[in-house]
Amino acid sequence: MTRNAVFLIFPFQDRRLRKKTYSPPLVLRDTHIFYWTQGRPSISMGGMITIHDLEFNETLMARITKAIKAEPNISRRRLSQQICQWMDWRSPNGKFKEVSCRKALAELHRRKLITLPDCGVYPFHARRARLSELPALFPVECSLAELGPVELVPIHSASSKNSRIWRALLDAHHYLGSGPLCGAQLRYLVWSERFGWLGGLSFSAAAWRVRCRDEFISWSEEARTHALQRVVNNSRFLIAPVVKVPGLASHVLAQCCRRLADDWQERYAYRPVLLETFIERGRFSGTCYRAANWRHVGATTGRGRQGTGATVKDVYLYPLCDDWQSILCAMQDGAVSTRRKLPEREPADWLEEEFGGAPLGDKRLVGRLMQLGEAFFSKPTANIPQACATGAAAKAAYRFFDNSEVSMDAILTPHFEATEQRLRDHECVLVAQDTSTLNYTHHPATSGLGPINTTKDNAIGLLLHDTMAFTPDGAPLGLLDVQVWARDKAEAGKRHRRHEKPIEEKESFKWLSSYRKVCDVQARCPATRLIVMADREADIHELFVESLKIRKSAELLIRAEKSRNRATADEETHIQSLWPRIEAVKPAGIVAFSVPPRPDRPARQARLEVRFAPVTLKAPRRKSSLPDVPIHAVQVKEIDAPTTIDDPLEWMLLSTLPVTTFEEAQTALRRYARRWGIEVYHRVLKSGCRIEDRQLGAATRLENCLAIDMVVAWRIHHLTWLGRETPELPCTVFFDDAEWKALVGFIHQTPVVPTVPPTLREALIMVATLGGFLNRKSDGEPGTVTVWRGLQRLDDITKAYIAFVLRPQQPPPAVSGNPTYG
């Protein structure tokens, strides 16, 4: 074999490679040969083969062959021990990597690079019997306090009595049995002084590759290979069926999380930093993990480890230290290697920045996504065939929305990441959550919809809950989370039973889910303070408790619901309702506040009386197990309101940030007023984009289309804000030469355009004029909807300007005109 030999390995030539698809063939030079061993690539480089992180060169393989010839009956275990001694292959705890070496030898034997002696066959009676001792279990039904102390008993030896008890318990009561467990492992028994054995649990090696987990960690392939051993899997967890103690499972998990890193280091000489577990859907709900502050990050695909099909499992993670992400993403040389690598070049335009990195599995799908984004931006109020301009493009759009590889999460992933990068440039970012309904009653044939209002009006559609980041000045930075779902028709009219369900099974869990996503961003952006804002619907005690649980949590600024009149306690534990408590405080001052107009009332300047005080929110009676939450309350109440106003302004804001001065209370008021930006965004999304007019036949297709519309709507919202707040910028920051020249020429009815482009504000007023804006003195600044309509007309005007004024040359053919080409 020559040094410069070139090998081509095409897709699907080997059955084992069919799970992994490559677009081009792999071109391997200099005798670099790729193998796949249990899902891990092994590379042969000039006679060097790497399997299970162990390197075998030609000299070592010749030495192995010589050892086998000298001792033909040598066992594979003894041979692997010898090789580890020769090469000094050791684990972090100092022991030889005998198991990894044995697996590598088996792979070399399968590849016919070496010939191993046959495995020994032992009679059944000679094998060590795996005895088990099922202990007597006592029925327990009491509270956690009545149960008394609970102890975790570690199992140090596989042959010990406790090990046999553990195996017997799991084999008898766990649906997966006691094993086998993979790789390094620790097992525990749960013991009560009063009632004996209560259950058991185990931790073992992490899954090699899980998409949602790897995306949450954001590590690169190199970092994952290097640091995977620091992720530990909770592979078994059992509380005996006869033990019925509310809160016991989460209590045991919390105990184990506190001691596991120390126990693991004692046994294996390194500390894990992240725990994972998989909860089978339909069998378990994962309530105990959520109660123990484990984070739900997604679900498996359901393909199974061997790709033969398995049930879908929810993935939960629990960090064991604050700097877990930097540890997992660190390489051997100390460099940090993450998925979010800096691009080799700046994005060509905003479409590439917001859509270009979508994980759709095929570059052609990403290209189609950017084409659709451009079409929707150019003609936001048009339907899909009109926006796509041609029948072929419209057909391709429908195929895109129906593609199984396309999902809302995949489309929005690059936009989420771009938003995160934008907010890093600010010291403080306001994050608004809100819910809106999408009414598709006029499209009843669409599958996957559900009721959206009361049972009387029979309206059907989808519910949208989104989370958008704003600067303190109100500039929309982009979305951080989007949830879309359809209500179950069978659950309609059962609101009275809501108190019987845990928070995870209610719609109100949407607030906690989005808040957790924002906290994840907060952990990755420690230099930026994130403040989550929401209206009265988010006034749920679990949300405030969540802020206490999460490390490096985002701050909260929530408007309280007056009808709930939450109970509070002072330092002397006197119980008093929230509103009377704050109204008894002396006013700190009066502020002027601009109230925006509504259809039933004009805009006005309101005078607000401000009060504030620290309070402790008591847990509701039905949720007495939840802790009390210390918080700061700010009340603003309109005084001297006009007699024509039926509902004077009155807000009670609950803030996790300290409010101890009048200036801090004013800051909280100004911040919460910025929450109105997400209401404007929803109006733009519905009126400008007309998402409720989409006809796609299925809710999943609507979601994919909605994802594009949401990014486009944010773009228009951001453009309108820039025109107001930075009016002197040149319009070229948003419009290319052909667009602004066509705009100026059309507005002034002249083919002669100025050499200096107009300002951004001037250009936006001209665009809004195309959309119906009259630009009178009393009209104020143009709104987002008129700007959106004007952009639609500007697209057609620009095309006409290019065709009849610029008259571009015909582009050369993309390929050779030779009819035999290809």
Q: What does the chain come to in residues?
A: 822
| SS3 label, residue 67 | helix
- Which residues lie below 8 Å from residue 296, measured CB to CB, with a gap of 6+? 286, 289, 290, 314, 315, 316
Of 51-55, 179-183, 215-219, 398-402, which gets the smallest average pLDDT?
A: 51-55
Average pLDDT on 163-186 reads 89
State residue 335's pLDDT score: 55
Average pLDDT on 224-228 reads 84
Can you tell me the distance from the alpha carbon of 776 to that of 97, in angstroms, rounded to the nearest whole number? Answer: 80
Phi, psi of 301 (to 5 degrees): -80, -20
Can you tell me the distance from the alpha carbon of 284 to that of 504, in angstroms, rounded to the nearest whole number? Answer: 13
**Contact predicate 494/485, CB 8 Å:** no
Per residue in 102-147, pLDDT (tens digit) is 888 888 888 888 888 876 544 444 444 455 678 888 889 998 888 9
State residue 8's pLDDT score: 35
**Strand-pair partners of 48:** 45
Percent of the chain with pLDDT over 90: 27
State residue 761's pLDDT score: 82
Burial of 636 (0-12, 13-18, 19+ CB in 10 A): buried
**What residue has token string 């909280």?**
668
Per residue in 254-298, pLDDT (tens digit) is 999 999 999 999 888 889 999 999 998 888 888 899 888 898 888
Residue 466 is encoded by which pair of tokens? Answer: 């989104």
Per residue in 784-806, pLDDT (tens digit) is 767 777 877 887 788 888 888 77
Burial of 667 (0-12, 13-18, 19+ CB in 10 A): middle
Residue 143 is encoded by which pair of tokens? Answer: 């509270």
pLDDT at 483 over 90: yes
Q: Residue 749 to residues 118, 373, 694, 766, 822: CA-CA distances in angstroms?
A: 90, 30, 36, 13, 49
Taking the CB of residue 330, how many other CB atoms lie within 10 A of it?
19
HSE, CB side, 13 Å, CA atoms: give it for residue 84: 22
Phi, psi of 818 (to 5 degrees): -60, 120
Beta pairing, strands 274-280 & 231-239: parallel
Residue 345 is encoded by which pair of tokens? Answer: 């070049």
**Contact predicate 505/487, CB 8 Å:** no
Q: Residue 450 to residues 202, 282, 488: CA-CA distances in angstroms?
A: 41, 22, 6
Q: Which helix (H) or strand (E) holds 702?
A: helix 699-725
pLDDT at 750 over 90: no
Q: Residue 73 to residues 69, 116, 120, 250, 465: CA-CA distances in angstroms?
A: 9, 10, 9, 52, 67
Percent of the chain with pLDDT over 70: 83
Can you tell me the distance from the alpha carbon of 521 to that of 416, in angstroms, rounded to the nearest whole number? Answer: 10
Per residue in 541-550, pLDDT (tens digit) is 999 999 888 8
State residue 376's pLDDT score: 83
Average pLDDT on 540-569 reads 87
Q: How would you classify residue 455: left for phi > 0, otherwise alpha for psi between -120 and 50, otherwise beta?
A: alpha
- Which residues lie below 8 Å from residue 523, measured CB to CB, with a gap of 6+? 325, 551, 552
Per residue in 621-644, pLDDT (tens digit) is 888 888 889 999 999 998 888 877
| SS3 label, residue 546 | helix
Q: What is the dihedral of CA 152, 157, 163, 166, to 10 degrees?
A: 40
Average pLDDT on 422-445 reads 90
Higher pLDDT, 244 or 10: 244
Per residue in 397-409, pLDDT (tens digit) is 889 998 888 889 8
pLDDT at 815 over 60: no
**What residue has token string 């530990």?**
232
